[in-house]
């Protein structure tokens, strides 16, 4: 990279009259503050202004009652806080509804106009608010296997003059409520999955418009879901939380005359079996439309042949309002191809690996059954279902036969790109089938693009893997007999997730589950949360550290101190537990570890057989978590704990250094992940050790021919570690590698999501024979965070991006990169274009935030900036130096020259095709890198032909 001097210009304020408006007032982390679970929801707002360098000096908040009368107001509060500001009024009562507006003053003394009124409505805040009781159909079931999904109903009368109506509802199982024949709300798979023994979410719906004067009917369909369906690998278990499905519903109707009524689940309800013969998260849904009961959730339906219900005791103190968004259908995909497999079966390709289910529109004879099987990849033109292990992922629909029928399963989801459709009446047309994408409906907040289409696709794959694995809880994968809240996976992916989507509320809920499960396990964080594994929890490094690291990431990215306060006991319990395991030597060097799971050297059947000693990793993470816990204590003003844990962290670092690091700086295992951990977690004592470790890391990366050598733990750190020792081009080289194993390898194999293992699909196109072969695991996609922070250069420098570190890094042959993120303060952006010896940088800093901007080529002089849009343009070149290469160049010279290296490999492969079957030419070249190209060629068949071709190709490359 060369730099030719610069004349930065800017800032360039946007034109226009100065104005300040409040764009968005929010409560807690909710987009829709309806049925909130907090009596004192914190408030956040963002400011939009054309004033450059705008800082807030004060705010004023008003609350209005439903009658439009002012209820309470603050005085003008002198404060620069605009994110998660404490609720300034009397605590909300259950059901209470207010509208709130905010205005602010800038340091220039100018005030904004009042914001629009934002509604907030409390849910049922206390168990005593519930007069409803859980009810379950009064019949016996064989719960050793999937059972038909029950329907529950009850009718009631409504007088004229309804002012408002709310339905508070949840289930043991999954449910869909219907009122007068209309499905309530647009959620899927409510109430979602939480650690049901401790926390069960209920939903609040505004059903005012669904009621009518006279007779009404309320009903619900139930499914096994996570509550009593099969969960877990190796066959899993059923009935983990209980063996009876049950509904809890409380419909509250307020009349304009001030009276109110409640319709609640009790013994007056009726139940019957419905058309869902079986539903299961892993196995799919079986639906017989002939068994539908038309009109069952309408009034005047004859339910005389239905049975009664009985009460089921369940602790109402476990009920909580959701802190994040519900799962919804977020996109419909049309088939890109419908083909016939060699077996004669019909295969639909949606062109994208996704999570959700199919929607059919079909016409045919009554009793005809359509079978839908799902898979992420094809092998030999047929569905490859082996990676699903014991998940059947099969839906079955039996037709009513009375015209056009539309069906989508309700209580299951699948991870798939391909579907096999069997039993379709006539010929399946693209119009008859859609893929319905489902996930927790978080707000998209982060975008990245650059000049390399392969990297853009990689990033898009990360986004799709996040979508697929953020369905109610953060899962490892969405397709096989797992789909569990594996702690290690989200521990490494959380920073990326928090950039791409607003997942603060989503992860806050999951962390509450983690704390509850951990408490029950005496400080041990289970491998998965919710914990459904049959064995007693045992601690595992990097996985259990989710207890400390995920809250810390939420604090960093969303500025939420409350999450640290809420999780502090959990964070501490984990570190204390590890400290007791590590003993006085502060080394956690005994017992089980997952280690650097699935580094590419791990054989298909041994995912933990990796390069880095798992105990080196365990002690490194111990130091990291102790350090973060100490810092969290500092934020919370817990001075004693701050001193204690920072001291502990220092002692663990010393222990690590003494046991695993040579005085010169070589780190035990001598593997990339070990160096990445030591460098990124600050475990090396002195500059000299750091320098040496950095050199050794680069040497290893180079020796591997810039192929990836890390697993779940090292992969998120490796590029940062390289950059921290000044080796950004090596990081780019790793990133842009296309050979297996590498990030872009999967992209060249047409992946549309991130794979679980580097070679889930082997270079010959066959599916990796290992048990761990998912095509939708986000963990290895954690590199996206580096793309955002380093390549595009947009990173938080203070919690909630109150201060932003803007430092773009042109390199890797890219000519352009851009990241945009909706921070808690508003939109922030950094974009650069570097071409023809000139660079342009555009930076957007949101109001009430600041940035330290380090422009390429000007590392020594960061620019301090307040809000506004900035633009610089100056002479600068980030082009790779293109050294001349010839047949007489040493192979080692090609290793650092990605373009030339790729050309050499592809030319040899093309002209000496017999070779690939017998040996990998890349490995051969790496091992013999002191030879010249010419010397090596003389060992190959067709040497003369390859030579001529290579000369031509290298010349064409300009070498």
Stretch that binds ligand BGC, among 29-37, 97-105, 164-172, 485-493 (CB under 6 A): 485-493
Q: Which is nearer to ligand BGC, 632 or 779 (CB)?
A: 779
* Residue (621 or 825) nearer to ligand BGC, CB: 621
* Cβ-based nearer residue to ligand BGC, 52 or 490: 490
Residue 489 in the binding site for ligand BGC (CB under 6 A): yes
Site string for ligand BGC, 771-790 (x = CB under 6 A): -x----x-------------
Q: Least CB distance from residue 567 to ligand BGC, whole Å? A: 21
* Beta carbon of residue 772, minimum distance to ligand BGC (angstroms, whole number): 6
Given the complex with ligand BGC, which of 485 and 799 has the nearer CB atom? Answer: 485
- Residues 619-633, buried b or exposed e (16+ Cβ, 10 A)? bbbbbbbbbbbbbbb
Within 579-598, the residues that bind ligand BGC by CB under 6 A are 594, 597
Least distance between ligand BGC and beta carbon 777 (Å): 6
CB 559 within 8 A of CB 610: no
Q: Is 715 helix (H, G, I), strand (E, B) or coil?
A: helix
Segment contacting ligand BGC (CB under 6 A): 120-128, 143-151, 222-230, 486-494? 486-494
Helix (H) or strand (E) segment spanning residue 582: helix 561-582
Within residues 696-725, the interface with ligand BGC by CB under 6 A covers: none
Q: Which residue of this chain has its Cβ atom nearest to ligand BGC in the complex?
A: 476
- Cβ 562 to ligand BGC shortest distance, Å: 28
Structure tokens at 241: 């939380």
CB of 215: closest distance to ligand BGC in angstroms? 51
Any contact of residue 525 with ligand BGC (CB under 6 A)?
no
Minimum distance from CB of 494 to ligand BGC (Å)?
A: 14
Greatest Cα-to-Cα distance within the chain, rounded to the nearest angstrom: 97
756 part of the active site? yes
Active site residue 482: yes
Q: Can you tell me which of 482, 502, 613, 739 binds ligand BGC, judged by CB under 6 A?
A: 482
With the CA atoms of 30, 34, 38 and 42 taken in that order, what torsion angle do they form, in degrees rounded to the nearest 10? Answer: 40
Looking at 450-458, 483-491, 653-661, 738-746, which segment touches ligand BGC (CB under 6 A)?
Answer: 483-491
Pair of tokens at residue 943: 């040497």
Q: Does the protein bind ligand BGC through residue 476 (CB under 6 A)?
A: yes
CA 484 to the chain's CA centroid: 13
* Cα distance between residue 959 and residue 948, in whole Å: 15
Asked whether 760 and 779 are in contact (CB, 8 A), the reply is no
Closer to ligand BGC at the Cβ: 252 or 596? 596
Tokens read off for 724:
């921290």
d(CA 399, CA 403): 10
Nearer of residues 296 and 597 to ligand BGC, judged by Cβ = 597
Beta strand 97-106 with 20-27 is unpaired
452 binds ligand BGC (CB under 6 A): no
Segment near ligand BGC (CB under 6 A); pick from 129-137, 481-489, 660-668, 693-701: 481-489
Q: Binding ligand BGC by CB under 6 A: which of 225, 274, 387, 488? A: 488
In whole angstroms, how close is the CB of 246 to ligand BGC at the nearest point?
31
Instruction: With contacts defined by CB under 6 A, name the span among 16-24, 151-159, 312-320, 480-488 that binds ligand BGC.
Output: 480-488
Among 420, 482, 727, 739, which one carries the catalytic annotation? 482
Spot the catalytic one: 62, 252, 756, 829: 756
Task: Assess contact for 798 and 81: CB atoms under 8 A.
Answer: no
The contacts of residue 376 (CB under 8 Å, 6+ apart) are 353, 384, 387, 415, 416, 417, 418, 479, 753, 774, 775, 776
Within 8 A by CB and 6+ apart from 52, the residues are 11, 13, 14, 866, 867, 868
Three-state DSSP class for 543? coil
Which CB sits closer to ligand BGC, 100 or 477?
Answer: 477
Are β-strands 214-223 and 826-835 bridged in parallel, bridged antiparallel, or unpaired? unpaired
Q: Binding residues for ligand BGC, how many (CB under 6 A)?
A: 10
**How many other β-carbons are positioned within 10 Å of the β-carbon of residue 54?**
25
Which residue, 66 or 604, is less far from ligand BGC as judged by CB? 604
User: If binding is defined by CB under 6 A, does position 755 make contact with ligand BGC?
Assistant: no
Give the H/E segment covering residue 101. Answer: strand 97-106
| Smallest separation (angstroms) from ligand BGC to the CB of 712 | 7
d(C-alpha 424, C-alpha 345), whole Å = 11
| Closer by beta carbon to ligand BGC, 297 or else 469 | 469
Nearest to 906 by CA among 659, 754, 717, 739: 739
Pair 125, 243: CB distance under 8 Å: no
Does residue 191 have a cis bond before it (omega within 30 degrees)? yes
Which one of the spans 346-354, 460-468, 484-492, 678-686 is the region binding ligand BGC (CB under 6 A)? 484-492
Q: Cα-atom radius of gyration of the chain, to the nearest Å?
A: 30
Give the residue, chosen from 174, 217, 419, 477, that forms a contact with ligand BGC under the rule CB under 6 A.
477
- Applying CB under 6 A, does 532 fall inside the site for ligand BGC? no
> Alpha-carbon distance 373 to 420, whole Å?
5
* Cβ contacts of 225 within 8 Å, gap of 6 or more: 173, 174, 189, 193, 279, 281, 411
Asked whether 339 and 378 are in contact (CB, 8 A), the reply is: no
Q: Which of 357, 368, 381 is nearest to 433 (CA)?
A: 357
Q: How far is the CB of 281 from ligand BGC (least distance, A)?
A: 15
Q: Residue 486 interacts with ligand BGC (CB under 6 A)?
A: yes
Binders of ligand BGC in range 594-623 (CB under 6 A): 594, 597
155 vs 596, beta carbon nearer ligand BGC: 596
For ligand BGC, the closer of residues 761 and 946 by Cβ is 761
User: Footprint of ligand BGC on this chain (CB under 6 A)?
Assistant: 476-477, 482, 486, 488-489, 594, 597, 772, 777
Active site residues: 482, 756
């Amino acid at each position: 990279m060369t730099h030719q001097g610069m004349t930065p210009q800017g800032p360039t304020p946007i034109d226009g009259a100065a104005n300040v408006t409040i764009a968005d007032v929010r409560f807690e982390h909710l987009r829709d503050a309806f049925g909130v679970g907090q009596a004192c929801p914190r408030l956040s707002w963002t400011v939009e202004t054309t004033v450059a360098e705008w800082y807030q000096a004060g705010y004023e908040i008003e609350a209005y009652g439903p009658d439009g009368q002012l209820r309470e107001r603050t005085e003008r509060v002198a404060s620069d806080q605009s994110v998660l500001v404490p609720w300034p009024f009397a605590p909300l009562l259950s059901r209470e509804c207010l509208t709130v507006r905010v205005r602010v003053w800038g340091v220039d003394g100018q005030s904004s106009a009042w914001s629009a009124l934002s509604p907030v409505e409390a849910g049922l805040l206390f168990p005593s608010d519930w007069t409803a009781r859980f009810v379950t159909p009064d019949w016996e079931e064989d719960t050793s296997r999937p059972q038909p999904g029950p329907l529950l109903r009850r009718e009631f009368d409504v007088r004229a003059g309804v002012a408002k109506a709310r339905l508070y509802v949840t289930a043991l199982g999954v449910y869909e409520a219907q009122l007068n024949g209309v499905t309530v709300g647009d959620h899927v798979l409510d109430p979602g999955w939480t650690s049901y023994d401790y926390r069960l979410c209920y939903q609040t719906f505004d059903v005012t418009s669904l009621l009518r004067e006279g007779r009404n009917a309320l009903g619900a369909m139930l499914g096994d879901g996570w509550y009593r369906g099969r969960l877990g690998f190796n066959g899993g278990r059923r009935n983990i939380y209980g063996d009876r499905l049950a509904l809890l519903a409380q419909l509250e109707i307020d009349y304009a005359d001030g009276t109110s009524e409640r319709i609640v689940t009790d013994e007056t309800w009726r139940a019957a079996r419905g058309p869902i013969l079986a539903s299961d998260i892993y196995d799919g849904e079986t639906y017989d439309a002939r068994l539908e009961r038309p009109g069952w959730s309408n009034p005047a339906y004859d339910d005389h042949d239905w049975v009664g219900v009985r009460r089921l005791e369940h602790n109402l103190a476990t009920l909580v309002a959701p802190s994040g968004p519900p799962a919804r259908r977020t996109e419909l995909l049309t088939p890109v191809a419908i083909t016939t497999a060699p077996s004669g079966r019909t295969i639909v390709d949606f062109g994208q690996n996704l999570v959700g289910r199919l929607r059919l529109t079909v016409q045919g004879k009554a009793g005809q059954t359509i079978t839908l099987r799902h898979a992420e990849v094809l092998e030999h033109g047929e569905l490859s279902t082996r990676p699903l292990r014991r998940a059947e992922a099969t839906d079955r629909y039996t037709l009513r036969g009375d015209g056009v029928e539309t069906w989508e399963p309700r209580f299951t989801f699948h991870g798939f790109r391909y579907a096999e459709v069997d039993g379709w009446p006539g010929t399946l047309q693209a119009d008859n089938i859609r893929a319905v994408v489902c996930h927790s409906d978080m707000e998209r907040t982060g975008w990245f693009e650059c000049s390399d289409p392969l990297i853009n696709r990689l990033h898009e794959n990360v986004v799709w893997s996040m979508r697929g694995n953020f369905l109610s809880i953060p899962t490892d994968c969405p397709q096989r007999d797992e789909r569990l809240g594996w702690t290690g996976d989200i521990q490494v992916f959380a920073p990326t997730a928090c950039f791409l989507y607003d997942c603060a509320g989503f992860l806050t809920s999951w962390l509450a589950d983690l704390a509850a499960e951990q408490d029950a396990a005496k400080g041990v964080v289970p491998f998965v949360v919710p914990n459904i594994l049959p064995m007693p929890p045992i601690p595992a490094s990097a996985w259990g550290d989710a207890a400390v690291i995920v809250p810390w990431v939420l604090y960093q990215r969303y500025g939420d101190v409350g999450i640290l306060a809420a999780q502090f006991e959990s964070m501490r319990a984990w570190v204390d537990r590890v400290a007791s395991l590590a003993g006085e030597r502060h080394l956690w060097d005994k017992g089980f570890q997952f280690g650097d799971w699935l580094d590419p050297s791990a054989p298909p059947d041994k995912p933990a057989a990796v390069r880095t000693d798992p105990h080196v990793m365990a002690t490194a993470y111990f130091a990291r978590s102790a350090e973060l816990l100490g810092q969290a204590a500092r934020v919370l003003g817990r001075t004693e704990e701050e001193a204690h844990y920072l001291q502990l962290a220092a002692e663990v670092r010393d222990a690590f250094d003494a046991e695993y690091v040579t005085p010169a700086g070589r780190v035990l295992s001598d593997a990339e992940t070990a160096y990445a951990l030591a460098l990124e977690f600050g475990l090396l004592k002195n500059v000299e050790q750091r320098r040496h470790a950095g050199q050794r890391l680069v040497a290893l990366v180079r020796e591997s021919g810039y192929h990836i050598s890390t697993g779940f733990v090292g992969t998120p750190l490796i590029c940062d570690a390289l950059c921290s020792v000044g080796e950004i081009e090596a990081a780019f080289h790793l990133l842009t590698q296309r050979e297996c194993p590498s990030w872009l390898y999967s992209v060249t194999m047409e992946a549309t999501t991130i794979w679980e293992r580097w070679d889930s699909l082997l270079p010959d196109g066959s599916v990796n024979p290992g048990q761990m072969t998912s095509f939708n695991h986000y963990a290895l996609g954690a590199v996206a965070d580096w793309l955002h922070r380093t390549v595009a250069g947009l990173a938080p420098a203070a919690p909630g991006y109150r201060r932003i570190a803007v430092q773009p890094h042109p390199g890797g042959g890219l000519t352009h990169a851009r990241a945009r993120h909706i921070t808690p303060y508003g939109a922030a952006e950094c974009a650069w274009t570097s071409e023809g010896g000139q660079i342009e940088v555009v930076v957007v800093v949101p109001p009430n935030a600041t940035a330290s901007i380090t422009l390429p080529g000007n590392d020594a002089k960061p620019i301090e900036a307040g809000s506004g849009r900035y633009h610089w343009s100056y002479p600068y070149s980030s082009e790779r130096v293109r050294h001349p290469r010839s047949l007489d160049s040493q192979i080692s010279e090609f290793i650092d020259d990605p373009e030339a290296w790729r050309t050499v490999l592809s030319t040899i492969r093309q002209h000496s095709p017999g070779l690939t079957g017998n040996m990998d030419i890349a490995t051969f070249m790496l091992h013999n890198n002191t030879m010249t190209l010419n010397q090596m060629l003389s060992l190959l068949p067709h040497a003369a032909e390859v030579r001529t071709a290579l000369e031509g190709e290298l010349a064409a490359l300009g070498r």
